């Protein structure tokens, strides 16, 4: 039965939740700044001190680029990441406010910052502290989107609002046979057909390994052929980069909107900034900017040499000429941007970027939103403001939107628009993909039954695939699903000093031993992945696994990825049976469904077994004959040598 659609007050409710989340993000950084020393903050990647400018340059749009390095060339422990928003301030003085910038390149020995305006003199001279700060642009644009959708009361905006609320049924055109989908399975073909026929919105529900990307590529290719330029978007830069790759593989002309610092290095050549840099108009604009900066330098020298009327007049004249040159340069850049945007089949950008230039003034016949179940509803509404029709793709049985405020999450901000639309419209707006091409059938059975009503089926090409298929002759005990029970072994969870996360040293040792055994059996490092729900456990295993070339990370970082063998450390082991956020079963769904042929899960049945899902996992392993006790596990006995 469909849920009762919310009323117009739903939008004001969303705005209140956004305000709660914004405050939570600001408070988190403020608490860390107050609680931690400068050294502790640097170790967590929240700050870098004792920096000084070593180089200056100019980027697209007249951005000022400043490279900073630590005095004496000393590296720092945890560098900033490209795309981070930071504030620079003098080491020994307070400046109100500090100067905000964007990290272009981050490293252990230097960091390059992009300033939208000429940075103050303290950035160019003296020692600096650079602090990571909350980026409120996302909140402001999401809030504006909610307000704009709520204000629609008649015509197309009014209908859009009512469909989003669930008060009007979505419309569909007569279906036309799409091109190039003969190789797709029946559900994939139906998803493409219905997505292209939707006049308002449609949801492609893609459980793990079911070919959601294949469907999106087919929708994009057909939509461009029918309607012209379309929009592809998602909440994260990684998801947008994935859409970009899909469109390129489909032979479409694509422009990636967004700061190059936030784009995968292998795709930077497709960004608007880089394509503009290669445009003839940009060559002339660059020379004009250089001339303008030279004039600004001349004006600064005139003021510094004295306070005569003649020098002030010269400075004013130089400033005026510089401004005119900059205006001319920016005009040329705008023309280059226009040429590139108009010549594209697809524009790719994050949802946040839809609220700013150049996308805020553009409209599209269709928008594809990938990983829509990981985006908050306010952010997703930005796509509805830019496109006549919207296709949302995702899986609400995997990771939800990340929300810091527990109050906001509890009141609905952690429920994606994708999930809410399914609740109010049901299967009228959904096509579920049911055939998966990743997992061995034994691996698939438990997630299928627990999360997808038993509807998934394994394609014949993967159903019987095992480690022995990948490595003929391998004798390692590695069935598709292996649960290693640590009950009574004394592998207890602990909280590392200075952390709020958890680790389990015993589990870490046995996971490393299993990884080494898989390498010895013949798997390559890239074919193995280690996943854990807890950041501290990933940090503990990292130094042991990274020299082997094996990636280790949290569950949240692995959605959308896969490996032949996946090793999962559950971590929780305590007398009270506390599971923490392991009770959010979507995380375990992600962890278990990354593996193709072998999922090795280590956990304490005495702690996990009180929860029905984990009890079912253990019972499934017992039924398959793939349950093992750590007391009888040879690798557990050998693990200590790798501690």
pLDDT, tens digit (0-9, with 9 covering 90-100), for 42-82: 777 788 888 888 888 876 556 788 999 987 777 776 678 77
pLDDT, tens digit (0-9, with 9 covering 90-100), for 306-322: 555 555 565 666 667 67
DSSP class of residue 198?
Answer: B
Q: How many whole angstroms separate alpha carbon 148 and alpha carbon 493?
A: 48
Q: What angle separates helix 377-386 from helix 417-425, to the nearest 10 degrees? A: 80
Q: How many whole angstroms separate alpha carbon 9 and alpha carbon 211?
A: 37
pLDDT, tens digit (0-9, with 9 covering 90-100), for 287-307: 676 766 666 665 565 555 555
pLDDT, tens digit (0-9, with 9 covering 90-100), for 480-535: 999 999 999 999 999 988 778 899 999 999 999 999 999 999 999 999 999 999 98
Cβ-count burial of 346 within 10 angstroms (0-12 exposed, 13-18 middle, 19+ buried)?
buried
Q: What angle separates helix 441-451 from helix 585-592, to the nearest 10 degrees? A: 160
SS3 content of the chain, % helix, strand, coil (to 5): 50, 20, 30
Q: Which helix (H) or strand (E) holds 469?
A: helix 467-470
* pLDDT band (50, 70, 90) for residue 596: very high
DSSP class of residue 62?
Answer: G
- Say which range, 5-19, 151-165, 243-257, 259-273, has the weakest mean pLDDT: 259-273
DSSP class of residue 530?
Answer: E
Q: How many whole angstroms separate alpha carbon 148 and alpha carbon 140?
A: 12
Strand partners, 346: 230, 254
Q: How many whole angstroms separate alpha carbon 415 and alpha carbon 402?
A: 10
Distances (CA, A) of 137 to 85, 146, 419: 10, 14, 25
pLDDT, tens digit (0-9, with 9 covering 90-100), for 327-341: 777 777 778 888 999
Contact at 8 Å (CB) between 130 and 103? no
Q: What is the pTM of this model?
A: 0.86
- pLDDT at residue 637, rounded to an integer: 58
Mean pLDDT of 394-414: 95
Neighbours of 115 (CB within 10 A): 18
Count of CA atoms in the C-beta half-sphere (13 A) of 59: 22
Neighbours of 619 (CB within 10 A): 14
Q: Which helix (H) or strand (E) holds 196?
A: helix 186-197
- pLDDT at residue 183, rounded to an integer: 95
> Among residues 210, 219, 207, which one has the least CA distance to residue 181?
219
CA 166, 167, 173: angle at the middle one, nearest 5?
75
Contact at 8 Å (CB) between 458 and 596? no
Distances (CA, A) of 162 to 14, 45, 167, 557: 16, 44, 5, 35
> Among residues 87, 191, 188, 194, which one has the least CA distance to residue 136?
87
Q: How many whole angstroms separate alpha carbon 27 and alpha carbon 30?
A: 5
Neighbours of 283 (CB within 10 A): 12
Q: What angle separates helix 137-151 from helix 377-386, to the nearest 10 degrees? A: 60
DSSP class of residue 5?
Answer: P
- pLDDT at residue 642, rounded to an integer: 41
Q: What angle separates helix 137-151 from helix 155-165, to the nearest 10 degrees? A: 110
Contact at 8 Å (CB) between 445 and 458? no
Neighbours of 412 (CB within 10 A): 16
Mean pLDDT of 210-223: 97
Mean pLDDT of 21-48: 82
* pLDDT band (50, 70, 90) for residue 643: very low
Percent pLDDT > 70 in the chain is: 91
Three-state SS at 474: coil
Q: How many whole angstroms separate alpha carbon 166 and alpha carbon 163?
A: 5
pLDDT, tens digit (0-9, with 9 covering 90-100), for 251-284: 999 999 987 777 888 898 999 988 888 777 776 7
Contact at 8 Å (CB) between 291 and 328? no
Q: How many whole angstroms separate alpha carbon 469 and alpha carbon 461?
A: 11
């Amino acid at each position: 039965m469909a849920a009762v659609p919310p009323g117009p007050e739903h939008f004001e409710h969303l705005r209140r939740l956004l305000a709660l989340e914004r405050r939570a993000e600001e408070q988190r950084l403020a608490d860390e700044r107050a609680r931690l020393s400068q050294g502790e903050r640097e170790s967590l990647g929240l700050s870098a001190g004792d920096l000084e400018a070593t180089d200056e340059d100019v980027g697209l749009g007249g951005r000022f680029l400043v490279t900073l390095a630590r005095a004496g060339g000393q590296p720092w422990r945890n560098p900033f990441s490209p795309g981070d928003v930071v504030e620079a301030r003098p080491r020994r003085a307070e400046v109100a406010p500090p100067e905000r910038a964007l990290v272009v390149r981050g490293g252990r020995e230097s960091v390059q910052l992009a300033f939208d305006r000429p940075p103050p003199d303290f950035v160019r001279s003296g020692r600096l502290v650079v602090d990571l700060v909350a980026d409120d642009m996302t909140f402001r644009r999401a809030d504006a989107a909610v307000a704009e959708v709520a204000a629609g009361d008649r015509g197309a905006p009014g209908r859009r609002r009512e469909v989003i609320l669930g008060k009007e049924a979505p419309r569909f055109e007569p279906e036309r046979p799409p091109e190039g989908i003969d190789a797709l399975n029946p559900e994939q073909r139906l998803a493409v057909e219905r997505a292209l026929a939707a006049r308002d919105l449609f949801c492609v529900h893609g459980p793990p390994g079911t070919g959601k990307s294949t469907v999106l590529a087919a929708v994009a290719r057909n939509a461009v052929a029918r309607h012209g330029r379309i929009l592809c978007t998602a909440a994260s830069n990684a998801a947008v980069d994935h859409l970009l790759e899909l469109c390129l593989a489909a032979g479409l002309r694509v422009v990636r909107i967004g700061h190059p610092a936030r784009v995968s290095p292998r795709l930077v050549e497709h960004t608007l900034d880089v394509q503009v840099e290669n445009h003839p108009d940009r060559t002339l604009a660059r020379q004009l900017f250089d001339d303008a900066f030279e004039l600004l330098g001349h004006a600064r020298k005139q003021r510094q040499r004295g306070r005569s009327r003649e020098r002030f007049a010269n400075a004013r004249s130089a400033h005026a000429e510089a401004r005119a040159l900059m205006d001319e340069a920016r005009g040329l850049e705008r023309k280059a941007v226009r040429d590139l945007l108009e010549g594209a089949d697809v524009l790719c950008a994050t949802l946040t970027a839809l609220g700013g230039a150049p996308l805020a003034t553009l409209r599209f016949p269709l928008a594809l939103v990938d990983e829509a179940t990981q985006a908050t509803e306010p952010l997703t509404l930005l796509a509805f403001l830019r496109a006549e029709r919207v296709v949302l793709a995702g899986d609400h049985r995997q990771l939800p939107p990340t929300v810091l405020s527990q109050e906001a999450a509890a009141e609905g901000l952690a429920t994606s628009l994708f999930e809410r639309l399914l609740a109010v419209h049901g299967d009228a707006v959904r096509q579920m993909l049911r055939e998966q091409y990743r997992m061995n059938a034994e691996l698939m059975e438990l997630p299928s039954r627990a999360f997808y009503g038993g509807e998934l089926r394994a394609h014949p090409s993967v159903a019987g695939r095992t480690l022995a298929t990948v490595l003929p002759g391998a004798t390692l005990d590695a069935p598709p699903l292996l649960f290693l029970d640590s009950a009574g072994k004394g592998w207890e969870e602990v909280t590392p000093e200075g952390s709020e996360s958890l680790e389990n040293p015993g589990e870490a040792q046995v996971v490393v031993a299993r990884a080494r055994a898989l390498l010895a059996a013949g798997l390559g490092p890239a074919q193995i992945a280690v996943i854990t729900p807890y950041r501290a456990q990933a940090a503990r295993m990292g130094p042991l696994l990274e020299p082997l070339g094996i990636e280790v990370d949290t569950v949240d970082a692995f959605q959308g990825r896969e490996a032949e063998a996946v090793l999962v450390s559950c971590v929780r082991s305590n007398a009270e049976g506390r599971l923490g956020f392991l009770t959010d079963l979507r995380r375990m769904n992600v962890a278990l469904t990354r593996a193709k042929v072998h999922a090795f899960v280590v956990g304490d049945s005495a702690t996990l077994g009180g929860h029905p899902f984990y009890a079912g996992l253990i019972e499934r392993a017992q039924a398959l004959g793939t349950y093992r006790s750590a007391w009888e596990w040879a690798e557990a006995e050998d693990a200590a040598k790798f501690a």
